[in-house]
Amino acid sequence: MNSNKNPYSVLGVSENATDEEIKKAYRELAKKYHPDKYAGSDLAELANEKMQEINAAYDEIQKMRASGARPSYGSGYGGSSYGSQNGSYSGAHAADYAYIRSCINDGNYTAADMRLNAIPAGDRGAEWNFLYGVTLIATGRTFDGRAYLERACAMNPGNLEYRAARDRAANVSFDSWGSSPGTQTECTGCSCGDLCTTMLCLNCLCGGCR
Amino acid sequence: MFGYVREYPPELKLKHHVFYRAVYCGVCKSMGQCTGFCSRATLSYDMAFLALVRMALERTPYEVIPQRCVLHPFKKHPILRENAALDYSARVSALLFHGKVTDNIADSHGAKKLFFRAVRPFAEHFRKKAGLEAMGARICERLAALSALEKGACESVDQTAEIFGLLCAEFFAFGLEGKSETIARSLGKHIGRWIYAADALDDFERDVKSGAYNPFAALYGAILSESAKESVAAAMKNELVSAGKALDLIDFEDENIKTLVYHIVFEGMLRKTEELTHKKKSKGELR
């Protein structure tokens, strides 16, 4: 890290920028390099360094301009979770699916993956494909995961939960990277968190469609 | 496999066009000097992208000067002066070509096999002149591993794409250290995964018709529904997002290089993604 760097240039503002402009620049950079965005990535450490650099620059500017409270960008990004399954599973693998859902809820994708693979090929219906798709996407298997979500929707077209998850996964938005106008302001790519939020909402709304 | 990583001309300023071309020609010239005249036939825009990324990471000072070339013997054109990144990209191109030829000889039959056999001495010659034996060996290893998976009719796009991604990560990161190495590896991996998917998608119909292996056919079946195409597009865009995160961590010194690199990923490769998944967008719309 270059400690001799001008803090204003780290934030990408001029030395005559107003306090508001500085705050805005800081917020945008913090959003861009926020650890949640790089969670699980092999670049997490570097992003963290960059984040520290940005924080240090902001602090320095504040000090230089006399005191002022700086916004705390705390790690208030609570992970969203699946609601507990309200309706009960029925059928041969009821216990398995309930267990798999709770694994996914806990972020224990390895266990979910193993249990899913233990279910014999002949018994793999829509629910299996859905849960497997969610697991795959959560563990970075972005192409295969989406294919399984497609299968789940094809097997059970009426299921809103599957459709919502599939649509969510198909919706990769970009922030102001491109030069084209009208782009989204939020960018995360697709993460399991997005799918989980959707599932939580759906569970509340329809008590777990099955 | 290469040729998908390109610019999107309507959204590129002329000065960046000229610079991009200067880099491309620079790689070509390097090839002529380093791996021989014939090796220029293996030139691709992907290598221009590689050169740009390497120049950004190594903070290479550059110069664009009017030069002649074989294809334009009468009028001088702006070409990037010889530098380490151009030289390196030229060598990588030769090694990739050699890897591809070796791989295709092993995997193909009939006329195709004969063609690659005929071309083999050229590929060997390019490889010898390129040097970088360690990397050349790694490229061949990865390609062999990929071949094995494909021969086994692997049903996972992620598995196959990952191998190609790791292959690209190798040559993006080779010779770099520390922060630059980490970034280059990540960038290379995601670009590589995207390239593999783009190539497989482009070949989908042809492969299904001829009964050849195609990872998307193995995963989705013989037909890609509109919904499936949308999902595939999303997965490819995800790779671009991941590549973008790596780009964000590069400390670009030069605005031209920065603009061009971001443009190639978020205009060129994004549009290509939509073109391959048959999404026709009007100009100005990103999705």
Query: pLDDT above 70 covers what percent of chain B?
Result: 97
**Is residue A74 pLDDT above 90, yes or no?**
no
State the pTM of this model. Answer: 0.81
Contact A177 B244 (CB under 8 A): yes
Chain A residues with CB inside 8 Å of B182's CB?
42-43, 45-46
Which whole number is the average pLDDT over B178-202? 97
| pLDDT at residue number B283 | 53
Among chain A residues, CA nearest to B244: A177
Length of chain A, please?
Answer: 210
Mutate to test the interface with A, among B13, B158, B236, B253 (most CBs of A within 10 A): B158
Bridge partner list, B121: none
Contact A172 B241 (CB under 8 A): yes
Contact A146 B235 (CB under 8 A): yes
Q: Give the H or E element holding residue B64.
A: strand B64-69
Taking CA atoms, A54 is separated from A3, B16, B245, in Å, by: 11, 30, 16
Q: Judge contact between B190 and B165, C-beta under 8 A.
A: yes
Taking CA atoms, B41 is separated from A56, B4, B28, B35, B96, in Å, by: 50, 17, 9, 11, 13
Of B57, B7, B5, give the one whose Cα is nearest residue B164: B5
What one-letter code names the amino acid at A67?
A: S
Taking CA atoms, B208 is separated from A33, B3, B203, B220, in Å, by: 42, 22, 9, 12
What is the value of ipTM here, to two decimals?
0.84
- Return the sign of the alpha-carbon dihedral for residues B226, B231, B232, B236: positive
Per-residue pLDDT tens for B208-258? Answer: 999 999 999 999 999 999 999 999 999 999 999 999 999 999 999 999 999
